[in-house]
Amino acid sequence: MYHTAGIAFENRSGSAKRAKAIIFGRKEQVGDICKLIENSYSQVTLAETSRELEKSGPDKETFRLAVMTDSFSEKLSIGLLNRVRQKFAPENMICLSGEIEEDNEITLRSAGLIFLGSYGTFFAHAENIIKHTLNNGGNNAMKPEIETARNLEKRLKGARASGRSRRKRLSFLITSAIAETAARSIELLIALAVTVTLFIPVLLIRLITRIPSGQPVFSRRTVCGMAGQPITIRTFSELKGRMADLPLFLELFTGRLALAGTAIREWDTPDPNAEQAYISMVKPGIISLWDIRRTSKIAHEGREAIEWEYIFSKRPAYDLLLLLRALPAMLYSETTSAYDPVFRLLGLDIDNITMAEAVSLIQTDLRDNRQQAIYFVNPDCLNKMAGDREYYDVLKAGDSIFPDGIGLTIAGKLLQSPLKENINGTDMLPYLCRMAAAERHSIYLLGGKPGIADEAASNINREFGVTIAGTADGYFNHETETGRIIDDINRSGASILLVAFGAPLQEKWIHHHRNRLQPALLMGVGGLFDFYSGNVRRAPRWMREIGIEWIYRIMQEPGRMWRRYVIGNPLFLYRVMKWKLLTGSGNH
Ligand code: UDP
C-alpha cells in the first residue's frame, strides 16, 4: 500500500530501515515502481500533482531517493527537479520517462541524476539501481558508482534502441561528443595562450624580484575539487586582482579545474551537505556565474541558488557565453572584502548593504510600523540632483538611499569604496513582495499611465501572492487631486506605498505628503510598473551582468533615453571624479 503526498507507509518487512523515498507520478501509473521501492525503503511517499508537491515538505533531512516519472502532472524538466531538490534534498534522483527529449536530456543529466531512462530499462536493472541508492551512505551523490550506473544505463539504452532511435541516439552522442571536444580544445587553447603570454612573464618577474629576498612566489590553498575531493591550488602571493589567479590556468591542463564551472569554494569539510555534494558534481571553474554576478553586484539570490542556475544551464555553448560575459565583468572586479557601511557620494549618504539586508531592515520597520521613505539613486538621478537643490534636500531627508545601477558600482570603484550590491526597485520587488505576503502586508501602487498600475497589480499578485490594496495612475492633477489620492491610499490599509512617477517627482511627492500618508513604507520606484505590467521589457540578465542594461533602454526608447545615457553617463563620471578631487580620498 502506498498513499498520496504526505502520507507515508511502512515497509512490509517491518525492518528498521530508515531510508525514505518519494515518487512523483500518477498512482495507477507508478504502482509497480512503488512496490519495488517499498521492498527496500522504509517509507515511500507519493505525489501525483504539482499542487501536492507544493503542499508537501519541505523535508530536507531524510529523503534518500526521489523518483520523477512522466505521469506526474508536470512535464519532466530541470525546473521540476530543482523544486523537488529544494523541498526534499534527496540524495539520489531518478527520472523515468517513456520518451526523453534529446535537448532535455543534457540538462536533466547535468542535474546529478543517478538514472535517466525508460521504465523498461529501469525495471530490468531496478535491483542494482535501488541498491546503489541505499548502499552508498550519506554522500553517495559523489561516489564513482554513479558513473558506473550511468554508463550501464547508456550501454543498455544503446543496445536496445530500435533502428530509428539508435540513429537519433547516435547523432545525439556524436553532437555532444563534438561539442565537448570543441569546448575542451578551446579551454586548452586559452590555457596555452594565457600561460605563454601572461603566466610565464609574470612568473619570471616574480622569481627575479622575490626569490633573492626569500619571499614566496606562490601561496597555496585547499579548495573543493570535483566530487567533493580536496585539491591544492596555487595563486601568486601578494598580487592583486585577477593577476593572482594566473597559476590557476595551469590546472586547465591537469583537468582539475575548468575554465567555466562552479565557483571555487574553500575546502572545509569531508562531509558536505546534500546541496554542496550536488554542486560539487560539476567541476569548479576559474570563471563562474557566481563570480560574474557578484562582480556586477547582482548576486541577490545567494550563492547556492546561482550555482544551481549554472548547473542547470551548463552546456558547451552556455560556457562559451559565460567566458564572454566574464571579460567585461572583470572591469568591475575588485579585491577588497572590506566595505564601508555608507557610500558617500556627491553629498549623499548611500546605504552600502546587500539586498537581503535591505529587505530585512524594511521588514523590521514594517513590524514596528515605523514610517520610512526609501529612495533609489542612479547616475541619471544624481545628474538631475546637481541642478535641483530641492531634490537634493529631499534625498537628504529620506531614511535610506540605495545605489541603483552599474554607474554607482563604477563610482564606488573609482572612490575606493566598493559597493556590496546594486539595489534597485525592480530587483527588490520580488523579495519585498514575498516578505510582504509572508507578513500579511498589502501594497498600494501609485503611478504610471492609466491602466498600467492595474496590469502590474494583477501580475504582481499572481506571481508573489501579495495583496494589492489599491492602484492609481500617476497622471492626476497634483494641485487638486492629491487629497483624494491620499485618502484612497490611507483607506486601502496598505502598509507599503510604491510611487512610480519617475525621479525626482516621486521623491518630492513622497517627501511633501509623508506626514499625511499612513503606509509605513514609502518608496520611489521609477519605471517599475512599466516592467511588471509587461509593457516595457527589462534587459536580459546577461546585459545586466556586463553592465549594459542602459544600452537596452536606449534601444527601446531612443528619443527619451539617449540624452539620459549617452550624455548622462560621461557627465556622471566627470562629477564623480570632481567629487573625488574635492574630497581627497572620496569617501571619507
Ligand atoms: N509617470 C507618472 N506621472 C508623471 C510622469 C511619469 O506616473 O507625471 C510615470 C511614467 O508613466 C513611467 C514612470 O513614471 O511609468 C517613470 O519612468 P522612467 O522610466 O522615467 O523612470 P526611471 O525608472 O527611469 O526613473
Section 493-506 average pLDDT: 97
Q: Which amino acid is at 209?
A: T
Q: How far is the CA of 527 from the centre of ligand 1 (A)?
A: 5
Section 224-242 average pLDDT: 86
Section 12-21 average pLDDT: 55
SS (H, E, C) 29-93: HHHHHHHHHHHHCCEEEEECCHHHHHHCCCCCCCEEEEEEECCCCCCCCHHHHHHHHHHHCCCEE
Task: Determine how many CB atoms are found less than 10 A away from the CB of residue 257.
Answer: 24
Mutate to test the pocket of ligand 1, among 376, 423, 530, 533 (most ligand atoms within 8 A of CB): 530
* Ligand 1 close to Cβ of residue 503 (< 6 A): yes
User: What is the grid cell recorded at 139?
Assistant: 554522500
Structural domain spans, the chain: 2-161, 174-332, 350-377+387-535
Shortest-distance Cα residue to atom 19 of ligand 1: 527
Q: Which residues pair with 23 in a beta bridge?
A: 46, 67
Q: Which amino acid is at 392?
A: Y
User: What is the grid cell recorded at 415?
Assistant: 572612490
* Ligand 1 close to Cβ of residue 524 (< 6 A): no
* Ligand 1 close to Cβ of residue 504 (< 6 A): no
CATH of domain 350-377+387-535: 3.40.50
Q: Which CATH class is domain 2-161?
A: alpha beta
Shortest-distance Cα residue to atom 5 of ligand 1: 501
Alpha-carbon dihedral angle through residues 103, 107, 110, 115, given to the nearest 10 degrees: -70
User: What is the grid cell recorded at 447?
Assistant: 503611478
User: What is the grid cell recorded at 416?
Assistant: 575606493
Which position has the grid cell 542594461? 549
Can you tell me which atom of ligand 1 is nearest the CA of 528? 23
pTM summary value: 0.72
* Ligand 1 close to Cβ of residue 425 (< 6 A): no
* Ligand 1 close to Cβ of residue 447 (< 6 A): yes
Can you tell me which atom of ligand 1 is nearest the CA of 447? 7
Question: What's the whole-number average pLDDT of the chain?
Answer: 85
Q: How far is the CA of 565 from the centre of ligand 1 (A)?
A: 16
Nearest to 92 by CA among 19, 157, 38: 19
Section 134-149 average pLDDT: 43
Q: How far is the CA of 237 from the centre of ligand 1 (A)?
A: 50
Q: How far is the CA of 448 from the centre of ligand 1 (A)?
A: 6
Q: How far is the CA of 502 from the centre of ligand 1 (A)?
A: 4
Task: Determine how many CB atoms are found less than 10 A away from the CB of residue 24.
Answer: 28
- pLDDT value for 278: 63
**Does residue 303 or residue 577 have the better pLDDT?**
577
Q: Do domains 2-161 and 350-377+387-535 have the same CATH topology?
A: yes
pLDDT in tens, 51-93: 888 877 676 666 888 999 989 988 887 778 878 877 787 878 8
- pLDDT value for 18: 64
Q: Nearest 5°: CA angle at 521, between 519 and 525?
A: 115
- The answer to whether residue 425 scores a pLDDT higher than 60 is yes
* Ligand 1 close to Cβ of residue 527 (< 6 A): yes
Can you tell me which atom of ligand 1 is nearest the CA of 560? 20
pLDDT in tens, 143-183: 333 444 455 445 445 544 545 566 666 776 677 778 778 88
CA distance 571 to 581: 15
Section 174-198 average pLDDT: 88
Q: Phi-psi bin for 381: left (phi > 0), alpha (psi -120 to 50), beta?
A: alpha
Most confident option among 57-61, 316-320, 473-477:
473-477
CA distance 287 to 261: 6
Can you tell me which atom of ligand 1 is nearest the CA of 564? 24
User: What is the grid cell recorded at 324?
Assistant: 564572454
* Ligand 1 close to Cβ of residue 475 (< 6 A): yes
Nearest to 495 by CA among 547, 411, 433: 433
CA distance 116 to 97: 8
Q: How far is the CA of 449 from the centre of ligand 1 (A)?
A: 8
Shortest-distance Cα residue to atom 11 of ligand 1: 448
Confidence class for position 318, pLDDT limits 50, 70, 90: confident
SS3 142: helix
Shortest-distance Cα residue to atom 23 of ligand 1: 526
Shortest-distance Cα residue to atom 14 of ligand 1: 501
Q: How far is the CA of 506 from the centre of ligand 1 (A)?
A: 9
- pLDDT value for 12: 34
CA distance 476 to 291: 45
Confidence class for position 313, pLDDT limits 50, 70, 90: confident
